[in-house]
Each structure stands twice: as structure tokens, then as C-alpha cells.
Structure 1
């Protein structure tokens, strides 16, 4: 009976000393370490959200997206309504007519724009830099004689001496230039009008006599506007022929909207970009003239969004997603060394190694907020690798294996950094790297006797 109990105790002890048991404990520890790793991800998300709140606050004061819509020729006209009037005494019915004033809107024949968009990095709130821009826009073009017949109007019903020019645009408070437009030889100042919708603000000139101002039934216009803005610059092609040219020192544009930029003239480089658009009236499905109210034409907007390809918090978030891979592969390296060298590594020592690996991400996010992501990655990576190499010397009792661990971690962190920096080839490089890592693990583990309980 005593022999049986002793044999069971030996079998139980030999199982917990077996390779299988050690693998299970290391695997369980790896899963447990995902908990503090999730806390680190929450910290990154919280800091990113805080940055977005600051950015929203600054852009609210500086200026948001810029959308330009116009200029538009606005001419009032008389609209008549007939109604029957019955004489109560004679019972005769007469037809009377009353006139009301309504408005006709005419888009320009030609609309040309040249815009210079320059980024402004001077705005800083706390530790956050807010990248915004100043846009200098020059518009010119011409209005042809209004085609009022298409609207069913008569020339004598139009009030030519009460014509105005109107412009719709977002963020009126971010306009930083004098607001006037030159019509042939006459200059007219814009005035802000009550908003007709929640998206656009309206600017309108005082009334002028169209027939007096028109030269050969054509009015040429010239308009300069300067905006403070952020995020994007867009236009609505109200010209029968609309030509837009944008030059900027922003190196990461994203072209958006219904119409694509001209591929033959579009250039993007480290010093900025240039883009051209040419849109004809046959390219969009709305008219050149309207009565009563202009329909919502936002679906026809186009332009450029000025983006940060990957900001520091996105880079930190992407780095943290590889945390499980780093912890798993590092534990695997230590486990293979333990199996090959017959050196015993306690589960507590694995825990210290795992916590050191997680500290990499807290160091990374904290240093990034005060410097560049590259410098932060270098400092955090060097610190953690140095700590683990020194710790490995103490637990492995030699220098050969710690040097191998240091080189392996350096290669692993370098590999992850390269993946983070890549955009188009991240998946390809990542898959290839993982395939090579798997091959290396299979090679170094090929001679380990997994059936040896003391391994």
C-alpha cells in the first residue's frame, strides 16, 4: 500500500516536471498576460480620444472643412397669380391678378479657381500639435446672358435693376479676407445673410443693375477669399465649365468626391501635391438655372482631404496589436533554451519577463507624446531588450544564450516596426516574416526530445 502511494506521488511529481506541464503553464501565463496588455490598449485608446477632443476644440476655433458653392447670379422676378372675384350685388365674376416677388438663380458660364493650401503647424494645445491650414482661393469666370426662357419667364417680368451675386460656403467665421467681388469694372462688397440651411452660410452683394453692368450680355467676375480650415477643401461645380487647380505643401492628400482629379497632371511628393479638375455641365445632372429654391447639390462636391496617414496613437495601437505575438515568441525562445540547455526557468521568472515586455508599450506611448514615434520606439525597445538580456544572464548563468535572446528580440522589434511603417505591403511583409519565424522555430526545435519528462 505504501509502495503504491509512493509510486503515485512520483508519477504526480514527474508530470509537473514534464515538458507538457511546463508548456501548459507557459501557455496559461501567456493568456493571463493578455489582461494587462488590454489595459495598455485601453490607455492608448483613452489618450487618442483625448487628442481628438483637443483637435476638435482647436478646429472649432480655427475653422473646419471648407466647401465653396458659387458665385450665383440671383435676379428677382414678378410672379402673377390669378383669382376670381365675385361682385355681391351684380353677381358678376371678374378675374384679378396679384403679383409676388420670387427669385431666379443662374449659374456661371465659366468658373475657374486656383487655390494655395498651406499647412499651419503653429497651433499647439498642451502636448498635442494640431495640423490645420490656410487656403488662399482665387475665383474668376463669367456669367452669360440669363436663359430665363428655360424657366418659363418673360423678360419684362425680371427686375434687372435688383440683381445680386450670392456665394454659399461653410465656416463663415473662418474667412479671413475682405469679402468683395469685381463684376466687369464694378466692385461690390459681400454681406452676410441669414442662413438658408444648417450646412452653408450665405454671402450676398447689394443690388445692381444687370443690364447696365453687362457688357455684350456677359459679366466677368473676379473673387479672392482666404480661409482658415482643417481636414478638407471641396467645391461644387456650378459652372457650365468648371476648372479647379489646387497646390499644397501637404504630402498626404486623399482625393474625394464625385469627380476624379486629372491623372496626367496630378503630382504627389514629399514637398506637397498639385491636382487639377475640369468638369463640364454634361458631367453632372443638374441645370444651370433654377427658380424658387436651388436643390441640395452636396452629392456633387469634390476636392481633397488633407490627412495624417498614421498618427502616433494609430502607430501605438498597431504596435500593441502585436503584443501577443511578442510575448508568445519571447516565451517560446526561453522555453527552447530551457529545453536545449536543461536549465530550469521558474514560472515566476517567465512572469517577470512577460511584464517587462508589456512595459515596452507603456514606455512607447508615454515617450511618443513628447517626441517622435521612431525615437520612442528606439528608446523603449532598447530599454526592454537591455533589461531582459541582463535578467537572462542572471537566470541562465552564461552569456551565450542571453546574447541570442537579445539578437532575437532586436530582430523581432525591428520586424514589427517595419510592418507598422508600411501601408500597402504590411500584410505581405508580415505574412512572409511569420512564415520565416515559424521555419526557424521548427529548425531549432527539431532535435528536442519532447518525451523526456526531465527536458
Structure 2
């Protein structure tokens, strides 16, 4: 007759020996450890946000990302209407004329500024603008010529962050010299910028212009192709640019010593004409340009690294689980948790060290520390040197493999997929002769000596 004591004892022994329950408990521990893994990802985002706020603070004092619109000519004109009392009233509206041709050349001088642990990419660019305007005929404008105030025509240049202007802007227009002043007549094309009166305009000929712009900015430079034919050439000593916006360069050359890029954009490539009234068209969607990239973005790499945390937990726990099966030595759930915490601390260690040194060196030091700790702990709890060496080899292979994947951004997916397939094949091969039904009933020893 089975007593209650025997029933409890048999149940306890079954729980200790059951492979199914062990797998479920290990799976539960992995899910439990996803909580601190999520907290680590939150820590990375918090540090990245802190970095971004410091970069913004530096940029505000030097010059933010710059968007240059123009130049363009703004001409006021009057429209007349009768009010409710029958009296004639007038409104002042603006006609915008875009250049027929625009040639921009520039040399960008980048530098990296540091504050505390963080760095910001800044630049100074010296641009030269040359081109000409062709005034449309009055029949094209569909405006009474008497109502157009040609003597109030302004040549304007949109600059998104005026604090970045480093020198006066002297505009040569039709042979005359004009000093640019802050402010625009209207915000139809740009929110901020400089302008100057230029008159008289040559109604039946070309109105040529040229000027230089000395401008500070940070990370991003964008240009808006307002001319009928736009040519832009920019060179810099920065080795890692990212070309973005509505148009990519027609040609470019990027080396370790810097880059040069050449854009050619026609009016047919954008969705607005060469002249219009008021704010009928929006020009910002046609902007193009470049961004200066920091190749050693530790937070981006740390974010990618943290995505592999669950994979490392699974593989490390699997190694300990198979050790239980092969060596018949039980590993307590608390010991699994301690090993899992060591795996997760690797990611915070990489993050903290990479803020003070090269990311690759931080990765290697962190991997060495965690690998040695887990291998030593495995030797202590299982009392098997061969198993400890197996854990050491497994973690070395995993961390080395992950390091290679991080370096090969474009091939990370295929490398990850192939790696997982190889690991699965190895596990299947090593466990092919295990009789899981026999293991389920075989007695096991306690892993603690």
C-alpha cells in the first residue's frame, strides 16, 4: 500500500528526474531573464538619448543641421478688390522667381567636438554660388504690369539656422554689390534667411549673381534645387559620408582621406515651376544633401548586440542542460539564474567600457571576463574539467562569431541564419545517441559537491 509519504517522495523524485519538467523550468528561467534583458536595452536607449541631448546642446552653440534654399527673387505686387461697402482695397502679395541656372561649389571642413563621454560631428563649409535669373514676360505672369513693384524686388537666400553664419554676405548682382541683411520678405519658401533689395532687374535679359557663404553646421547639410539647372560640387576630408534626400550624387568618390560628390538636378526632376505667387508650392521635399556619419557609434552597435541576448541565454543554458544529461549531475535553477545574469552583464559591460575606449577592445575584454567567470563556475558546480573546457570553447566560439557578425553589417542576416543552422546541426549530431526515455527515469546526482 502506497502511503502519503511514499507518494510525496515518488513525486519529488519524478520532478527531479523529469527531463520534460527540466526543459520547461529552463524555458521559464529564460523568459524570466528577458526582464533584465529588456532593462539593458532601456539602459542603452537612455545613454543614447543622453548622447543626443549633449550633441544638440553643442550644435545649438555651433550651428545645427543646415538647409539652404535658393537663392530666389521675391517681387511684391498689388491686387485690388472691393469690400462690402464698395470701396476699393488693395492687398500686397509676392511673386517668387527661381534661377535659370545655379552652380554651387563648396569645401566642407569637419571636426569632432567632445563633451564628457560624448562626441558631436560639426562642420564649417565655404560655399560659392553662381547663376542667373531670367525674368518671365508679363504675359506669362498673368499679372497687370502696373501692379508689380519691380523696384522692391529682393534676392533672398533661405538658411535654416542663422546662428551658423560666420561672415558677411556680399551679393554681386548684375555688376552691383549688395549687402545681405537678416530676414525674409515672406516665409513662403523658407522660414529663415537673408535678403537684399536688387534693382533694377533686366526684364529681357539674364540677371547674373554670385556670392560666397561661410557657414557652420552639424552632421547634416541639405540643399534645395531651386534652379532650372542645378549643379553642386562638395568635397571634404570626412571619410564616412551618407548621401541622402530626394537626389543622390551623379558621381562621387569616397576614400579614407575624404570624399567628393557632384549632383546635377533639373527642374523636370521636382514638382514645382520656376515662378509662382504666394505659397502655392512647397520646396522642402526636393531637398538633397549629405550627413557626416560617426562610424564608431557605440550605441547603435550595443543595440544590435543586445538583440542576441536571448540566443546566448538559450545556448548557454542548453550547454548546462546537456551537461546534466551526460554527466548525470543536477544543476539547480538558482545556478541557472546566476549563469544567465553573467551572460546579461556582458552587455552592460560592453556598453560602459565602449564609452571610454574602442568598441572592439571593450567587446574583447567583456567577452574574456564573462567567459572565464562562467567556465570557472561550471567547473565548480559540475566538478568536471572537461565540461568546463567545453563551456569555455562554446562561449569563445559564440562571442567570436557574434563579433564577426557585428563587423559585417550587410551580411549579418545571412551570417546569423547560417550560424544558427550550423549550431542546430552540431547539437543534433552530439545528442543523436541519447535515449531520452531512458534519461527520464535514470537517477541523477546533485551537482553540488
Q: CA deviation at 1:255?
A: 3.1
**Pairwise CA RMSD of aligned residues?**
3.0
Larger Rg: 1
Q: 1:289 to 1:390 in 2, by over 3 A?
A: same
Post-superposition Cα deviations, 1:326-375, rounded to whole Å, max 9, x if no partner, equal: 11111111221232122333333223222211221221111122122211
| Corresponding residue number in structure 1 for 2:348 | 362
| Corresponding residue number in structure 2 for 1:284 | 270
- Residues 1:186 and 2:176 aligned together: yes
d(CA) in 1 for partners of 2:126, 2:322: 63
Q: CA deviation at 1:146?
A: 4.3
Match for residue 210 of structure 1 among 201, 217, 222: 201
Ranges in structure 1 where 5+ consecutive residues have no aligned partner: 87-95
- Residues 1:66 and 2:66 aligned together: yes
Match for residue 110 of structure 1 among 101, 108, 116: 101
| Corresponding residue number in structure 1 for 2:418 | 432
Post-superposition Cα deviations, 1:282-320, rounded to whole Å, max 9, x if no partner, equal: 333322223455732222222223344672112212212
TM-score normalised over the length of structure 1: 0.86
Ranges in structure 2 where 5+ consecutive residues have no aligned partner: 445-449
Whether the 8 Å CA contact 2:331–2:381 is kept in 1: the answer is yes
Q: 1:260 to 1:40 in 2, by over 3 A?
A: closer
SS of structure 1 residue aligned to 2:345: helix
| Corresponding residue number in structure 1 for 2:154 | 164
SS of structure 1 residue aligned to 2:371: helix
TM-score normalised over the length of structure 2: 0.87
Q: Higher mean Cα deviation, 189-198 or 328-337? A: 189-198
Q: 1:257 to 1:30 in 2, by over 3 A?
A: closer
| Corresponding residue number in structure 1 for 2:363 | 377
- Residues 1:120 and 2:108 aligned together: no
Match for residue 122 of structure 2 among 132, 142, 145: 132
d(CA) in 1 for partners of 2:345, 2:78: 76
| Corresponding residue number in structure 2 for 1:274 | 260
Q: Higher mean Cα deviation, 358-367 or 27-36? A: 27-36
d(CA) in 2 for partners of 1:112, 1:167: 14
| Corresponding residue number in structure 2 for 1:387 | 373
Q: Higher mean Cα deviation, 152-161 or 9-18? A: 152-161
Q: CA deviation at 1:129?
A: 0.8
| Corresponding residue number in structure 2 for 1:406 | 392
- Residues 1:351 and 2:337 aligned together: yes
Whether the 8 Å CA contact 1:162–1:209 is kept in 2: the answer is no
Q: CA deviation at 1:200?
A: 2.0
SS of structure 2 residue aligned to 1:67: strand
Give the length in aligned residue pairs.
439
- Residues 1:240 and 2:237 aligned together: no
| Corresponding residue number in structure 2 for 1:33 | 33
Q: 1:147 to 1:276 in 2, by over 3 A?
A: farther
d(CA) in 1 for partners of 2:92, 2:34: 71
- Residues 1:444 and 2:443 aligned together: no
Q: CA deviation at 1:431?
A: 0.6
